[in-house]
Protein backbone atom coordinates (compact mmCIF):
# COMPACT_ATOMS: atom_id res chain seq x y z
CA UNK A 1 0.00 0.00 0.00
CA UNK A 2 2.82 2.41 0.89
CA UNK A 3 4.58 1.56 -2.37
CA UNK A 4 1.43 2.25 -4.35
CA UNK A 5 0.92 5.57 -2.55
CA UNK A 6 4.50 6.59 -3.27
CA UNK A 7 4.07 5.73 -6.93
CA UNK A 8 0.88 7.81 -7.09
CA UNK A 9 2.57 10.82 -5.51
CA UNK A 10 5.63 10.57 -7.74
CA UNK A 11 3.49 10.35 -10.86
CA UNK A 12 1.45 13.39 -9.91
CA UNK A 13 4.44 15.53 -8.91
CA UNK A 14 6.56 14.70 -11.94
CA UNK A 15 3.90 15.35 -14.57
CA UNK A 16 1.50 17.73 -12.88
CA UNK A 17 1.01 19.66 -16.11
CA UNK A 18 1.65 16.89 -18.63
CA UNK A 19 -1.70 17.06 -20.35
CA UNK A 20 -2.67 16.55 -23.98
CA UNK A 21 -4.91 18.09 -26.61
CA UNK A 22 -5.99 17.01 -30.10
CA UNK A 23 -4.08 19.08 -32.64
CA UNK A 24 -5.61 17.95 -35.91
CA UNK A 25 -8.12 15.63 -37.53
CA UNK A 26 -7.31 13.99 -40.88
CA UNK A 27 -4.70 16.70 -41.37
CA UNK A 28 -7.08 19.55 -40.57
CA UNK A 29 -5.76 21.69 -37.69
CA UNK A 30 -7.65 22.61 -34.56
CA UNK A 31 -10.13 25.40 -35.16
CA UNK A 32 -10.67 24.03 -38.68
CA UNK A 33 -13.59 21.58 -38.36
CA UNK A 34 -12.51 20.73 -34.84
CA UNK A 35 -13.40 22.87 -31.84
CA UNK A 36 -10.37 24.45 -30.17
CA UNK A 37 -10.57 25.07 -26.42
CA UNK A 38 -8.29 27.51 -24.64
CA UNK A 39 -6.00 24.97 -23.00
CA UNK A 40 -5.01 21.32 -22.80
CA UNK A 41 -6.81 20.94 -19.48
CA UNK A 42 -8.79 17.76 -18.82
CA UNK A 43 -12.37 17.21 -17.68
CA UNK A 44 -12.93 15.47 -14.34
CA UNK A 45 -16.69 15.77 -13.69
CA UNK A 46 -18.59 12.95 -15.40
CA UNK A 47 -21.82 14.92 -15.00
CA UNK A 48 -20.60 18.11 -16.69
CA UNK A 49 -21.84 19.08 -20.16
CA UNK A 50 -18.24 19.70 -21.14
CA UNK A 51 -17.59 15.95 -20.93
CA UNK A 52 -19.26 15.63 -24.34
CA UNK A 53 -17.07 17.84 -26.52
CA UNK A 54 -14.98 19.84 -24.09
CA UNK A 55 -16.66 23.25 -23.89
CA UNK A 56 -16.56 26.93 -24.54
CA UNK A 57 -14.36 28.69 -22.00
CA UNK A 58 -14.76 32.39 -21.28
CA UNK A 59 -11.90 33.37 -23.58
CA UNK A 60 -9.43 31.85 -25.96
CA UNK A 61 -11.60 29.31 -27.77
CA UNK A 62 -12.18 29.06 -31.50
CA UNK A 63 -15.16 27.40 -33.12
CA UNK A 64 -15.36 26.50 -36.81
CA UNK A 65 -17.98 26.75 -39.52
CA UNK A 66 -16.24 24.02 -41.52
CA UNK A 67 -17.21 20.36 -41.81
CA UNK A 68 -15.04 17.54 -43.12
CA UNK A 69 -16.57 15.01 -45.50
CA UNK A 70 -15.81 11.44 -44.44
CA UNK A 71 -16.63 8.25 -46.34
CA UNK A 72 -18.53 5.60 -44.38
CA UNK A 73 -16.29 2.59 -43.84
CA UNK A 74 -13.11 4.67 -44.01
CA UNK A 75 -10.49 5.13 -41.32
CA UNK A 76 -9.93 8.60 -39.89
CA UNK A 77 -7.17 9.86 -37.63
CA UNK A 78 -6.78 12.42 -34.88
CA UNK A 79 -3.42 13.66 -33.62
CA UNK A 80 -2.88 14.15 -29.88
CA UNK A 81 0.05 16.29 -28.69
CA UNK A 82 0.91 17.74 -25.31
CA UNK A 83 0.84 21.48 -25.89
CA UNK A 84 -1.83 23.68 -27.43
CA UNK A 85 -0.83 24.73 -30.92
CA UNK A 86 2.04 22.28 -31.27
CA UNK A 87 2.58 20.29 -34.43
CA UNK A 88 4.02 16.87 -35.12
CA UNK A 89 7.32 18.41 -36.23
CA UNK A 90 7.29 21.12 -33.55
CA UNK A 91 5.77 19.59 -30.41
CA UNK A 92 6.61 22.57 -28.21
CA UNK A 93 8.91 23.05 -25.27
CA UNK A 94 8.11 19.81 -23.44
CA UNK A 95 9.58 17.32 -25.89
CA UNK A 96 9.88 14.65 -23.18
CA UNK A 97 6.09 14.51 -23.11
CA UNK A 98 5.45 15.14 -26.79
CA UNK A 99 2.11 13.31 -26.76
CA UNK A 100 1.28 12.90 -23.07
CA UNK A 101 3.26 11.84 -20.01
CA UNK A 102 3.95 8.12 -20.06
CA UNK A 103 2.59 7.90 -16.51
CA UNK A 104 -0.89 8.79 -17.79
CA UNK A 105 -1.99 5.21 -18.46
CA UNK A 106 -5.49 4.52 -19.68
CA UNK A 107 -7.87 3.72 -22.54
CA UNK A 108 -8.70 5.38 -25.85
CA UNK A 109 -12.32 5.57 -26.98
CA UNK A 110 -14.32 7.12 -29.81
CA UNK A 111 -18.02 7.97 -30.13
CA UNK A 112 -20.28 9.43 -32.81
CA UNK A 113 -23.49 11.45 -32.59
CA UNK A 114 -25.89 12.23 -35.45
CA UNK A 115 -26.70 15.95 -35.46
CA UNK A 116 -28.58 18.31 -37.75
CA UNK A 117 -25.57 20.62 -38.10
CA UNK A 118 -22.09 19.58 -37.00
CA UNK A 119 -20.91 23.18 -36.87
CA UNK A 120 -23.01 23.61 -33.73
CA UNK A 121 -20.07 22.19 -31.82
CA UNK A 122 -19.66 22.04 -28.84
CA UNK A 123 -23.24 23.06 -27.98
CA UNK A 124 -24.70 20.10 -29.90
CA UNK A 125 -22.62 17.65 -27.90
CA UNK A 126 -24.35 17.24 -24.53
CA UNK A 127 -27.33 14.88 -24.35
CA UNK A 128 -28.49 11.63 -25.89
CA UNK A 129 -27.50 10.26 -29.28
CA UNK A 130 -23.96 9.00 -28.73
CA UNK A 131 -22.80 5.54 -29.81
CA UNK A 132 -19.33 4.09 -29.29
CA UNK A 133 -17.37 3.04 -32.37
CA UNK A 134 -13.99 2.16 -30.85
CA UNK A 135 -12.31 1.31 -27.56
CA UNK A 136 -8.87 0.05 -26.61
CA UNK A 137 -7.89 -0.36 -22.98
CA UNK A 138 -5.39 -2.67 -21.30
CA UNK A 139 -3.65 -4.37 -24.21
CA UNK A 140 -1.29 -6.59 -22.24
CA UNK A 141 0.44 -6.89 -18.89
CA UNK A 142 2.91 -4.22 -20.04
CA UNK A 143 0.91 -1.98 -22.36
CA UNK A 144 -2.07 0.34 -22.20
CA UNK A 145 -3.75 2.03 -25.15
CA UNK A 146 -2.03 5.28 -24.15
CA UNK A 147 1.36 3.52 -24.34
CA UNK A 148 0.54 2.49 -27.90
CA UNK A 149 -0.65 6.03 -28.68
CA UNK A 150 2.69 7.43 -27.53
CA UNK A 151 4.53 4.92 -29.72
CA UNK A 152 2.66 6.18 -32.80
CA UNK A 153 3.48 9.81 -32.07
CA UNK A 154 -0.05 10.59 -30.88
CA UNK A 155 -2.14 9.12 -33.70
CA UNK A 156 -5.57 7.72 -32.82
CA UNK A 157 -7.30 6.12 -35.81
CA UNK A 158 -10.85 4.81 -35.85
CA UNK A 159 -13.10 3.33 -38.51
CA UNK A 160 -16.41 4.95 -39.42
CA UNK A 161 -19.16 2.28 -39.57
CA UNK A 162 -20.32 1.64 -43.14
CA UNK A 163 -23.93 0.93 -42.20
CA UNK A 164 -24.86 4.25 -40.60
CA UNK A 165 -27.01 6.96 -42.13
CA UNK A 166 -25.44 9.75 -44.16
CA UNK A 167 -25.37 13.24 -42.72
CA UNK A 168 -23.69 15.37 -40.09
CA UNK A 169 -22.06 13.84 -37.02
CA UNK A 170 -19.87 14.85 -34.14
CA UNK A 171 -16.95 12.44 -33.84
CA UNK A 172 -15.75 12.38 -30.25
CA UNK A 173 -12.20 11.26 -29.44
CA UNK A 174 -11.53 10.42 -25.79
CA UNK A 175 -8.43 9.62 -23.76
CA UNK A 176 -8.84 8.74 -20.07
CA UNK A 177 -5.77 9.04 -17.85
CA UNK A 178 -6.04 6.84 -14.75
CA UNK A 179 -2.84 7.55 -12.83
CA UNK A 180 -4.80 9.35 -10.06
CA UNK A 181 -8.13 7.56 -10.40
CA UNK A 182 -8.18 5.68 -7.09
CA UNK A 183 -10.66 8.29 -5.83
CA UNK A 184 -13.33 10.30 -7.63
CA UNK A 185 -12.84 12.79 -9.13
CA UNK A 186 -9.42 11.62 -10.13
CA UNK A 187 -9.61 10.21 -13.66
CA UNK A 188 -8.68 12.76 -16.31
CA UNK A 189 -10.90 12.89 -19.41
CA UNK A 190 -9.36 14.45 -22.51
CA UNK A 191 -12.05 14.89 -25.17
CA UNK A 192 -12.31 16.67 -28.51
CA UNK A 193 -15.02 16.54 -31.18
CA UNK A 194 -14.52 16.75 -34.95
CA UNK A 195 -17.27 18.07 -37.21
CA UNK A 196 -17.89 15.60 -40.01
CA UNK A 197 -20.37 14.85 -42.78
CA UNK A 198 -20.66 11.13 -43.55
CA UNK A 199 -21.30 10.04 -47.13
CA UNK A 200 -21.63 6.59 -48.69
CA UNK A 201 -23.34 5.00 -45.70
CA UNK A 202 -25.93 2.32 -46.31
CA UNK A 203 -28.25 3.59 -43.60
CA UNK A 204 -29.24 0.03 -42.74
CA UNK A 205 -28.49 0.33 -39.03
CA UNK A 206 -29.90 2.42 -36.22
CA UNK A 207 -27.36 2.34 -33.38
CA UNK A 208 -28.53 2.30 -29.79
CA UNK A 209 -27.38 5.49 -28.13
CA UNK A 210 -26.46 6.85 -24.72
CA UNK A 211 -26.27 10.30 -23.21
CA UNK A 212 -23.05 12.20 -22.54
CA UNK A 213 -23.02 13.23 -19.79
CA UNK A 214 -25.04 10.38 -18.34
CA UNK A 215 -23.37 7.20 -19.55
CA UNK A 216 -20.55 7.43 -17.02
CA UNK A 217 -20.73 7.32 -13.23
CA UNK A 218 -18.02 8.37 -10.82
CA UNK A 219 -18.25 4.92 -9.25
CA UNK A 220 -17.80 2.97 -12.50
CA UNK A 221 -14.98 0.41 -12.14
CA UNK A 222 -13.23 1.88 -15.17
CA UNK A 223 -13.35 5.42 -13.74
CA UNK A 224 -12.77 4.99 -10.02
CA UNK A 225 -9.92 2.50 -10.08
CA UNK A 226 -6.40 1.98 -8.84
CA UNK A 227 -4.36 0.74 -11.76
CA UNK A 228 -1.30 -0.09 -9.65
CA UNK A 229 -0.51 -3.71 -8.86
CA UNK A 230 1.18 -5.03 -5.71
CA UNK A 231 4.59 -4.10 -7.09
CA UNK A 232 3.54 -0.50 -7.72
CA UNK A 233 3.47 -0.98 -11.47
CA UNK A 234 0.56 0.68 -13.36
CA UNK A 235 -0.53 -2.54 -15.06
CA UNK A 236 -3.39 -4.29 -13.26
CA UNK A 237 -4.51 -7.81 -14.04
CA UNK A 238 -7.67 -6.52 -15.73
CA UNK A 239 -9.52 -3.35 -16.60
CA UNK A 240 -13.14 -2.58 -17.53
CA UNK A 241 -13.56 0.17 -20.12
CA UNK A 242 -16.42 2.52 -19.17
CA UNK A 243 -19.44 3.25 -21.31
CA UNK A 244 -21.64 1.19 -23.62
CA UNK A 245 -20.43 -1.65 -25.84
CA UNK A 246 -18.90 -0.81 -29.20
CA UNK A 247 -21.49 -0.54 -31.98
CA UNK A 248 -20.96 -2.92 -34.88
CA UNK A 249 -22.88 -3.14 -38.13
CA UNK A 250 -25.14 -6.16 -38.65
CA UNK A 251 -23.51 -9.21 -40.19
CA UNK A 252 -23.01 -8.86 -43.91
CA UNK A 253 -22.97 -5.06 -43.93
CA UNK A 254 -19.20 -4.98 -44.40
CA UNK A 255 -18.35 -2.68 -41.53
CA UNK A 256 -15.85 -2.75 -38.75
CA UNK A 257 -15.69 -5.43 -36.05
CA UNK A 258 -15.51 -4.10 -32.50
CA UNK A 259 -12.29 -2.93 -30.97
CA UNK A 260 -12.11 -4.20 -27.42
CA UNK A 261 -9.80 -4.81 -24.51
CA UNK A 262 -8.78 -8.08 -22.90
CA UNK A 263 -7.58 -8.63 -19.34
CA UNK A 264 -3.82 -8.97 -19.25
CA UNK A 265 -2.99 -12.65 -19.26
CA UNK A 266 -6.67 -13.52 -19.41
CA UNK A 267 -8.46 -16.20 -21.36
CA UNK A 268 -11.69 -16.62 -23.23
CA UNK A 269 -12.13 -20.11 -21.88
CA UNK A 270 -10.84 -21.86 -24.99
CA UNK A 271 -7.45 -22.88 -23.64
CA UNK A 272 -4.23 -20.92 -23.55
CA UNK A 273 -4.15 -17.84 -25.70
CA UNK A 274 -1.69 -15.04 -26.20
CA UNK A 275 -2.69 -11.47 -25.34
CA UNK A 276 -4.23 -9.41 -28.11
CA UNK A 277 -1.69 -7.92 -30.55
CA UNK A 278 0.69 -10.75 -29.70
CA UNK A 279 -1.16 -13.74 -31.09
CA UNK A 280 1.08 -14.71 -34.00
CA UNK A 281 4.00 -17.04 -33.43
CA UNK A 282 7.27 -16.85 -35.33
CA UNK A 283 9.95 -19.47 -35.86
CA UNK A 284 10.89 -20.90 -32.49
CA UNK A 285 7.85 -19.37 -30.78
CA UNK A 286 6.71 -21.78 -28.05
CA UNK A 287 3.97 -19.72 -26.43
CA UNK A 288 0.22 -19.97 -27.02
CA UNK A 289 -1.06 -19.03 -30.46
CA UNK A 290 -4.81 -19.40 -30.07
CA UNK A 291 -6.51 -16.53 -31.88
CA UNK A 292 -9.03 -14.52 -29.87
CA UNK A 293 -11.49 -12.44 -31.82
CA UNK A 294 -9.89 -13.65 -35.03
CA UNK A 295 -11.51 -11.06 -37.28
CA UNK A 296 -10.15 -8.24 -35.16
CA UNK A 297 -6.71 -9.79 -34.89
CA UNK A 298 -6.49 -10.26 -38.65
CA UNK A 299 -7.61 -6.70 -39.11
CA UNK A 300 -5.25 -5.16 -36.57
CA UNK A 301 -2.10 -7.30 -36.80
CA UNK A 302 0.51 -8.02 -39.45
CA UNK A 303 2.07 -11.35 -38.51
CA UNK A 304 5.25 -12.66 -40.07
CA UNK A 305 6.20 -16.32 -39.62
CA UNK A 306 9.35 -17.24 -41.54
CA UNK A 307 8.52 -16.76 -45.21
CA UNK A 308 4.75 -16.78 -44.67
CA UNK A 309 3.30 -13.30 -44.43
CA UNK A 310 -0.27 -13.19 -43.17
CA UNK A 311 -2.17 -10.03 -44.01
CA UNK A 312 -5.73 -9.25 -43.02
CA UNK A 313 -6.67 -8.65 -46.66
CA UNK A 314 -4.77 -7.62 -49.76
CA UNK A 315 -6.68 -4.35 -49.68
CA UNK A 316 -5.44 -3.51 -46.19
CA UNK A 317 -1.91 -4.41 -47.28
CA UNK A 318 -2.15 -1.95 -50.15
CA UNK A 319 -3.68 0.73 -47.94
CA UNK A 320 -0.78 0.36 -45.50
CA UNK A 321 1.77 0.69 -48.32
CA UNK A 322 3.66 -2.39 -47.19
CA UNK A 323 6.39 -3.52 -49.58
CA UNK A 324 7.60 -7.04 -48.96
CA UNK A 325 10.26 -8.35 -51.38
CA UNK A 326 10.32 -11.80 -52.95
CA UNK A 327 12.58 -13.29 -50.29
CA UNK A 328 10.36 -11.92 -47.55
CA UNK A 329 13.45 -10.44 -45.92
CA UNK A 330 12.18 -6.99 -45.08
CA UNK A 331 9.05 -4.88 -44.67
CA UNK A 332 9.25 -1.20 -45.40
CA UNK A 333 7.46 1.98 -46.41
CA UNK A 334 4.57 1.77 -44.00
CA UNK A 335 2.98 5.11 -44.78
CA UNK A 336 -0.70 4.75 -43.98
CA UNK A 337 -1.69 7.47 -41.52
CA UNK A 338 -2.13 6.23 -37.98
CA UNK A 339 -0.07 3.06 -38.29
CA UNK A 340 3.16 2.19 -36.54
CA UNK A 341 6.20 2.38 -38.85
CA UNK A 342 7.78 -1.03 -39.24
CA UNK A 343 10.88 -0.09 -41.22
CA UNK A 344 13.44 -2.66 -42.31
CA UNK A 345 13.41 -5.84 -40.29
CA UNK A 346 14.84 -9.32 -40.28
CA UNK A 347 11.80 -11.55 -40.65
CA UNK A 348 13.48 -14.73 -39.39
CA UNK A 349 10.84 -15.55 -36.84
CA UNK A 350 10.16 -11.91 -36.04
CA UNK A 351 6.57 -11.01 -35.32
CA UNK A 352 5.76 -7.62 -36.79
CA UNK A 353 2.67 -5.88 -35.55
CA UNK A 354 0.75 -2.76 -36.35
CA UNK A 355 -2.40 -1.45 -34.76
CA UNK A 356 -4.85 0.17 -37.15
CA UNK A 357 -7.16 1.52 -34.48
CA UNK A 358 -4.64 4.06 -33.11
Active site residues: 179
Give the bridge partners for 172, in sequence order. 111, 193
Measure the CA–CA gap between 55 and 219, rounded to whole angstroms.
Answer: 24
Please give the Cα distance from 191 to 293 (Å, whole number). Answer: 28
Which DSSP state fits 324?
E
Distance CA 6, CA 265 (A): 26
Is the C-alpha dihedral spanning 171, 110, 217, 44 positive or negative? Answer: negative
Q: Rounded distance, CA 121 to CA 316, Å?
A: 33
Tell me if 193 sits within 8 A of 172, measured CB to CB: yes
- Output the CA torsion 256→258→259→265 (10° steps): -140
CB 99 within 8 A of CB 151: no
11, 107, 212, 287, 310 from 182: Cα distances, Å: 13, 16, 22, 34, 41
The CA distance from 141 to 224, in Å, is 20
Amino acid sequence: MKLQHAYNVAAVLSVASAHTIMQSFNGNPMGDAIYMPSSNMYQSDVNANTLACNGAPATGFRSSSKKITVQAGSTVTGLWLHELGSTDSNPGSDTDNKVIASSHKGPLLAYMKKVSDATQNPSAGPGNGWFKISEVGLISSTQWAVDALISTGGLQSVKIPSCIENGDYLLRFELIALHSASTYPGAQFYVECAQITVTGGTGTANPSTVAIPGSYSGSDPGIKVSIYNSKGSPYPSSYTIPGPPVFTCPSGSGSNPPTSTLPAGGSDGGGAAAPKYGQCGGIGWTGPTTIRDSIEVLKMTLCVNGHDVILSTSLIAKQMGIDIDESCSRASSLTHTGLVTLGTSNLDGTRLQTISEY
